[in-house]
Amino acid sequence: MISDNLRQFDLYFPGSWIEGADRDWAFQSMLVLHQIENLFVESVAAFSLVRPMTIDNYQEFMGREHSQYERCLNNLYAKGFVFALDGIYKLLYRLCQYLNPPPAVLLQRDKYIERFGHLKHIRDSAIHIEDRGRGVTRTQNPINTNFLVIGSFIERRFSFTGEDGINYEVEISATTLKDAKAIIQEVINAYSWSQI
């Protein structure tokens, strides 16, 4: 059962329909906003399931045996977290590129890119593990790094080395989700809403 404390991440839609003379535009925009909401819910669900070793649970973590499946689940949930938040970036980009949103949405997209744009590198490395695991780029050139990170945890930070040789990480935490939520809520609030 999902904890009630996850409700703090709920997004609020001030109406059931976007106002505007172009009903197709309003409908398409609303669809994208609900897709963004769905991906955000996926990231919250993934966050709630990740159980990495931290300073707080070190003794408990070390005091019991962990199966390869338990370690695999943490990586799976972490990837789900990254993929969902990166998917939101892609939807925001398309929303701004094709659906002529209110100007405030463009500002929020830029904030999202500034905060979460690096997730693309984590996602790409996770998807192209056949290359990263061998220390090469998509073009099969060696990655310029002395230390290759492949889906590692440091406490709640999940890390991968990108194709450019830089180590990218994201903290799988309530703080990260609150940052994403604040931006997404501002995107939703940028539209004029009405009840049907």
The DSSP code for 53 is -
Whether the pLDDT of residue 1 is over 60: the answer is: no
What pLDDT sits at residue 2?
Answer: 60
Q: What is the pTM of this model?
A: 0.93
Please write the tens of the pLDDT for every residue from 111-148.
999 999 999 999 999 999 999 999 999 999 999 999 99
* Strand spans (E) along 25-175: 150-154, 157-161, 167-171
Instruction: Tell me how far CA of residue 165 lies from CA of 56, 91, 123, in angstroms.
Output: 31, 27, 14
User: How far is Cα 33 from Cα 76, in angstroms, rounded to an integer?
Assistant: 26
Please write the tens of the pLDDT for every residue from 59-116.
777 777 777 888 899 999 999 999 999 999 999 999 999 999 999 999 999 999 999 9
Percent above pLDDT 90 for the chain: 85
Question: What is the average pLDDT score of the chain?
Answer: 94
What pLDDT sits at residue 148?
Answer: 95
Q: How confident is the model at residue 158 (pLDDT cuts 50, 70, 90)?
A: very high
**Domain limits, the chain:** 16-194
